[in-house]
Structure 1
Amino acid sequence: MPSPCTDPRAAGTRRRLAGGLAAWIGVIACSIAAGDEPKDAAKEPASLAKIEKFTADQRGHWAYQPLEPGEPPDVEEAAWIRNPIDRYILSDLESADLPHSPEADRTTLLRRASFDLTGLPPTAEEAAAFLADGRPDAYERLVDGLMEGPHFGERWAQHWLDLAHYADSNGFELDVERPDAWRYRDWLVAAINADMPYDRFLTLQIAGDEVAAGDHDALIATGFCRAGPRELVGGNVIPEVKRQNELTEITSTVGSVFLGLTIACARCHDHKFDAIPTTDYYRLQAFFAASELTEPSISPQAEADAFEAAKKAIDEKTAPLKKEMAELEAPYRAAIAAQREAMLTAEEHALLAIPEKDRTPEQKRIAGGLANSIRVVWEDVAHEVAKDPAVHARREALKLRIHEIARTLPRPPAHAVALTDSSAAAPESFVHRRGDPTIKGPRVEPRPPGVILASQRKEVFSEASIQPAEKSTGRRAALAKWLADSGNPLVARVIVNRLWQHHFGRGLVATPSDFGVRGEPPSHPELLDWLAAKLIADGWRLKPIHRLMVTSAAYRQSSRPVAKLSELDEENALLGRMNRRRIDAESLRDALLVVSGELNAKMGGPGVLAPLEKEVKDLIFTEAEEVDLWPVDPDPAEHRRRSIYLFKKRNVRYPLLESFDAPDNQTACPRREASTHALQALNLLNSDLALGRAHALAERLAREVPDDPAARVRRAYAIVLCRPPGDDEVARATAFLTGQAAAQGAAAAWDDFALALINSNEFLYIP
């Protein structure tokens, strides 16, 4: 029986107890430090040197401490070590008297590295080449090749898009398209492929317009702050409320993604657990107070002029058709309006007769509601016109003709979906009581969270850090400079932990966007600091960190259960084996396209509208629409692009991606869940996507191996699973194909065989 000092389960209990105690200390201390409500009379001091008084426990929280990398520890089994990461892993295993696992077989390593680094399975030819490579550094060469290829950026951009909760539409009621949002996605892929240093990567996304004025790519990079949902219409009609919602979205995303803190919890009241008073939330938000959500042109003037000319030509073509349709609808529209106006009372008629400028605020509110109640929209007209078949047919013909002409309009000239300042002056920022922008508390100035500043060894932020320019406050540039400073302990820790999570299935900190007192403490704190310090020392380049992780002995371990590990470290916190993982939603769809031989590897460009299953489209778009709200791309080859290039509409999701836990793009997603439910099996067995890919795979097999059924089975295993089948597998497959062929024909039998392979656990999981 292990002692409590070496039992990893006991260690985990101690960490959780310590975290809980620190959380309650944080509640009490934060209330003492900042108060539950800001004082109206208080104003931000002229100097930012004054920082709230934080307790020693608050300042001493592990995440705020300066990096302490130290030297990798000595271990007994030095022969196992491939790089310094392994010393940290093995040291803890040896201290707990636990074994490590043996190295996985080469096929497993190939699939693991390929999915992790590119999001795609290896081809049969790549597998054969790797398995035949007898050089001692064959695996390292494989890793280098995968990271240098274009698919690396596509894979890791998807992880970042989860954090940015990117989509190609705004969300909410209208969920309208953002025609240029994809430019940020493409910038992201290119930046990752180029191994842009993370400090630069961070800076451009927060303040690209300030630090690189005139650079279109830097302007596009600020799309990070615009990637989340945005409400353009709806109940929040007060401009202050809409503006505050925009700032809340930006502030919360920056706080969680770069700092790994639940900053948003302090919007309405002092954070209940972390030492983040409400004043600090609004100080952080003040960095963005002057920033506007803009879409500046980045196209040449000639391109803009050509688009306007094309638009004018289309308007001229559709004008007579629109006029005819308006005349056709006019009597129906007038009748509906008259019927609704007749329902108003005399008092309501009298109120509407008052000129707008003479109405009281209450009369304006009532008049707005009345106007909405009698307003005639296209659905009303369509419903009435449908009662007259002849008029309805003519109206539908006009609609179709207008739509066909409008579709010939080229895409608008290039714009950046950006965050920009318009002047050097910034509006005053205030604490909002209970998060209500109409109830202002004390004025605040821009400043990072005080508890982090109080814990830093050197002053890395001051008023002088903010340098306004002619059309820029310089505030966001100052924030980015502070975030990317080597003296900031959080940023490097947070990003290397995110890389570790995606490579190993679980972060060194299991709560990747919560490094606060309620988050999980690090399982290997010395390793976390060593990786963070190395990132900074190597110029903030992420590819060397990736390479260290995936070439380590820890990463190369088998995922097969080991009795002692299962008994004493059930959660695999000490990483005595590799974590077995299911491939994520996008990788599953992309893998289906790879094995079927259909993947279109074209990179970049506007999001592709691929077909939805008919029942899904009928369910979502139930009414007769003025235009087709899901106009599928006319080129079938575009439908077979990688999933990162699919058009992401917040309110319409592809069934396969949704069922396999792709995030909904409404909030930042630091870690995807891995659920198991019946819809996953139904999608992989019955959906048009799965059946179509199985049929394409069967046709590919018939083309490549036309005559020999046993050889075709072996080819199928090589393509789908990257390995040869055993003799028993060939025998079972042959018997299955014979039986199915007798029942429904040879072609259908091979379709079923292909469908069974792509539904196998071996295809769906990375061991």
Structure 2
Amino acid sequence: NGNSPPFIKVPKSWPELSQDELRFVTPEPMAIHITQTSVPRPQAGDPDTVMVLHERAEPRETYRLERGQYDHPDKSQRLYPATPPAIGSWNEQWPADRLGLAKWLVDPSHPLTARVAVNRLWQHHFGSGIVRTSENFGVQGELPTHPLLLDWLATEFVSGGWDVKAMHRLIVTSATYRQSSAASPEQQERDPENRLLGRGPRKRLSPFAIRDSVLFTSGLLDSQIGGPSVKPYMPPAIWSSISNAKYVRDDGAKLFRRSLYTYWRRTVPPPSMMAFNAAARETCIVRSDQTTTPLQALTLMNNITFIEAAHHLAERVLQAGDLTIHQQVEHAFQSVTSRRPTEEERSVLVEDYKFYRQDFADNPDAAKRLLAIGDAPHASGLNQSELAAFTLVANTILNLDEAITEN
């Protein structure tokens, strides 16, 4: 029943045992296991205990291992804590321990730390670092496209007290960052990846930001900070392929928490995140690949989160006041893309709305099924065919490249 040890029957060849012992016996390994599991769990209010590190009074003697074999140390070659002299010099006043290593890393004369740090901040804003291989500044990495810029940023970073916020501000207020991301045909031909920084950055949002921006635009995002992980919409049988565990999603406002709080099982990550190149968390990475596939458009079009967001965006627009359909389309478009639609874009979306409205008027059950998707409470008093039609229009707008791209 889960509370008793897994007993094993005694063979009949053991007649010397007593009558009670003839029935069952607990093997020795099992007894040890049972003893371990019988320790009472910590109760609420008890002080927490954590493992900590401390320096040994006498450092452990470490030797070079022959061919890397742990059981073949070469006693004639003892090793001592040190850093590669090719990277940066060591100050003899520093202790030869973790504190000394930290001092060496953040020493102003260190040639790598500040450069690596500002390169990753640059990558965050531009999509690609000045050194594209931000995880590798060695001989197998790429050379910087603008080495003097990298040196200047690193110098400013160190002289400013390693102020990350100030470095972010410096980058985003620069003339380079504030350029238009529009590219002429000549620029596209000569520098398709904008490595020469001839125009402003244009990159797709991260998987987390895509979901959060859609929820925010629709008004569904729960801005609560902190708390335990949550389990939003996912395929119900997603865990059954690798274990007997069942995925039980949350309900209410937990469905719309920031993606940062999503419960993440390493072997079964959220499919909608993986479609947009989220890190699988099997290894640590400092930059992710960025691919464009049909699956991404299908995710934006059919995922429950995005359909529900489109539904609530449609409700917000239809409840905004006495607006014409052209004004409603413009309002929704501007809410998502931060710009007004062109006349052609507005015309296409209005025609789509009219087509969907007539289709749902002829098929009210289809409208009911569409509007039933998701668990969030819905507004009442709206025409169902009009709401369903504008939901599909909002879904189309949320599927635009501009909706998931920084321009």
Global fold match (TM > 0.5): yes
Distance 1:431 1:730, change over 3 A: same
Residues 760 and 427 of structure 1, relative CA distance in 2, 3 Å threshold: same
Higher relative contact order (CA 8 A, sep 6+): 1
Once the two structures are superposed, the pairs formed by residues 391-540 of structure 1 within 5 Å of their partners are: 420-421=53-54, 423-441=56-74, 442-453=77-88, 456=89, 460-462=90-92, 464-466=93-95, 475-540=97-162
Kept after mapping to 1: 8 A contact 2:223/2:257: yes
In structure 2, what is the Cα distance between the partners aligned to 1:682 and 1:604?
Answer: 31
Task: Kindly indicate whether the alpha-carbon contact (under 8 Å) linking 1:585 and 1:662 is maintained by their aligned counterparts in 2.
Answer: yes
1:755 corresponds in structure 2 to 395
CA contact (8 A) 1:613 1:687 kept: no
Answering whether residue 202 of structure 2 is matched by residue 580 of structure 1, we say yes
Counterparts in 2 of 1:563 and 1:612: CA distance versus 1, 3 Å? closer
1:227 corresponds in structure 2 to none
Aligned counterparts of 1:411 and 1:761: Cα–Cα separation in 2: 51
After superposition, give the CA deviation of every residue in 1:402-431 in whole Å (9 maximum; x if it has no partner): xxxx9xx86986666x75226444323333
- Alpha-carbon contact 2:125-2:201 (below 8 Å) kept: no
Change (3 A) 1:489 1:665: same
Residues 1:765 and 2:405 are matched in the alignment = yes
SS in 2 for 1:421: coil
By how many angstroms is 1:559 displaced?
2.2
Residues 1:486 and 1:575: Cα distance change in structure 2 (over 3 Å):
same
Matching residue of 2:259: 643
Q: Which amino acid aligns with 2:157?
A: L
How many angstroms apart in 2 are the aligned matches of 1:564 and 1:672?
Answer: 28
Q: SS of 1:443's equivalent?
A: strand
Sort the Cα spacing of 1:412 and 1:506 in 2 relative to 1 into closer, same or farther, 3 A.
farther
Q: CA 1:411/1:728 → structure 2, altered by over 3 Å: closer, same or farther?
A: farther
Q: CA deviation at 1:525?
A: 1.0
Please give the secondary structure, in 2, of the residue aligned with 1:431: strand
3-state DSSP class of the match of 2:53?
Answer: strand
Task: Name the counterpart of 1:689.
Answer: 305
Distance in 2, matches of 1:571 and 1:619, equals: 40
Output the CA distance in 2 between the equivalents of 1:639 and 1:410: 27
Paired AA for residue 258 in structure 2: R
In 2, Cα distance between the equivalents of 1:599 and 1:525?
Answer: 41
| Aligned match for 2:331, one of 712, 715, 722 | 715
Query: Please, which of 295, 300, 306 is the counterpart of residue 679 of structure 1?
Result: 295
**In 2, Cα distance between equivalents of 1:701 and 1:573:** 40
2:368 alignment counterpart: none
- Match status 1:742 vs 2:375: no
Kindly provide the CA deviation profile for residues 144-170 of structure 1, in whole angstroms up to 9, marking residues without a partner as x: xxxxxxxxxxxxxxxxxxxxxxxxxxx
CA separation of 1:617 and 1:682: change in aligned 2, threshold 3 A: farther
How far apart, CA to CA, are the structure 2 residues paired with 1:537 and 1:742? 65
TM-align CA RMSD: 3.1
Q: Is the 8 A contact 2:177 2:201 kept in 1?
A: no
When normalised by structure 2's length, the TM-score is 0.78
Distance 1:524 1:676, change over 3 A: same
How far apart, CA to CA, are the structure 2 residues paired with 1:461 and 1:452?
A: 13
Counterpart of 2:232 in structure 1: which amino acid? A
Give the deviation of 1:486 after TM superposition.
0.6
1:691-745 deviations in Å (ceiling 9; x for gaps) = 2222222222223246633322121012111122233333322221111111123
Cα deviation 1:486-507 (Å, max 9, x = unaligned): 1111101110111111112211
Aligned CA distance change for structure 1 residues 722 and 434 (closer, same or farther; 3 Å): farther
Q: C-alpha displacement at 1:580, in angstroms?
A: 2.2
TM alignment of 1:9-408, pairs within 5 A? 325=1, 337-338=8-9
The residue aligned with 1:228 is none
Deviation at 1:511, TM superposition (A): 0.8
Contact 1:721 1:762 in 2 (8 A): yes
- Letter of the 1:651 partner, please give it: T
Q: Which moved more, 1:586-595 or 1:715-724?
A: 715-724
Aligned position for 1:605: 227
Give 3-state SS (helix, strand or coil) of 2:87's partner: helix
Compare the two structures and name the one with the higher helix fraction: 1
State the one-letter code of the partner of 2:85.
G
Q: Shift in Å at residue 636 of structure 1?
A: 2.0
**What SS class does the counterpart of residue 735 from structure 1 fall into?**
helix
Indicate if the aligned counterparts of 1:705 and 1:711 stay in contact, CA closer than 8 A. no
The 1:728–1:605 alpha-carbon spacing in structure 2 relative to 1, beyond 3 Å, is same
Q: Is contact 2:126–2:203 with CA below 8 Å preserved after alignment? A: no
How far is the alpha carbon of 1:571 from its aligned partner?
A: 4.0
Cα distance in 2 for partners of 1:515, 1:752 equals 47
SS of the residue corresponding to residue 603 of structure 1 reads coil
Partner SS state of residue 724, structure 1: coil
Q: Does 1:551 align with 2:173?
A: yes
TM-superposed deviation, 1:759:
0.6
* Residue matched to 1:724: 340
Identity of aligned residues (%): 35
What does 1:563-574 correspond to in 2, within 5 Å? 563-574=185-196
Matches within 5 A, 1:696-707: 696-705=312-321
Q: Is the 8 A contact 2:238 2:268 kept in 1?
A: no
Specify the alignment match of 2:182 in structure 1.
560
Deviation at 1:485, TM superposition (A): 0.7
Over 3 Å counting, the alpha-carbon distance change for 1:511 and 1:451 in structure 2 is same
Kindly provide the amino acid, as one letter, of the partner of residue 61 in structure 2. E
Equivalent-residue separation in structure 2 for 1:413 and 1:585 (angstroms) = 38
Would the alpha carbon gap of residues 701 and 531 (structure 1) be closer, same or farther in structure 2, given more than 3 Å must change?
A: same
Measure how far apart 1:585 and its partner are: 0.4
Distance 2:300 2:225 in 1: 26
Amino acid at match of 1:507: G
Q: 2:168 is matched by which residue type in structure 1?
A: H
Residue 655 (structure 1) aligned to one of 271, 281, 291: 271
Q: Deviations over 1:555-582 (max 9, x none)?
A: 1222222344344444433211234211
Q: CA 1:735–1:587 in structure 2 vs 1: closer, same or farther (change >3 Å)?
A: same
Superposed CA deviations along residues 343-375 of structure 1, whole A, max 9, x for unmatched, are: xxxxxxxxxx9x98xxxxxxxxxxx9xx9xxx9
| Change in CA separation of 1:694 and 1:632 when aligned onto 2, cut-off 3 Å | same
* In 1: Cα distance, 2:224 partner to 2:315 partner: 23
- Between the aligned partners of 1:412 and 1:659, the Cα distance in structure 2 is 43
Tell me the matched-pair count: 358
Give deviations 1:301-333, integer Å, cap 9, x for gaps. xxxxxxxxxxxxxxxxxxxxxxxx358x88xx6
Q: Is the 8 A contact 1:493 1:529 kept in 2?
A: yes
In structure 2, C-alpha distance between the alignment counterparts of 1:608 and 1:413, rounded to whole Å? 26
CA pair 565-709 structure 1, distance change in 2 beyond 3 A: closer
CA distance in 1 between partners of 2:49 and 2:255 (Å): 25
Kindly tell me: are residues 559 and 606 of structure 1, through their superposed partners in 2, closer, same or farther at Cα, counting changes over 3 Å?
A: same
Q: 1:738 to 1:575 in 2, by over 3 A?
A: same
Task: State the secondary structure of the residue aligned to 1:452.
Answer: coil
User: Shift of the alpha carbon at 1:528?
Assistant: 0.9
- TM-score, structure 1 normalization: 0.43
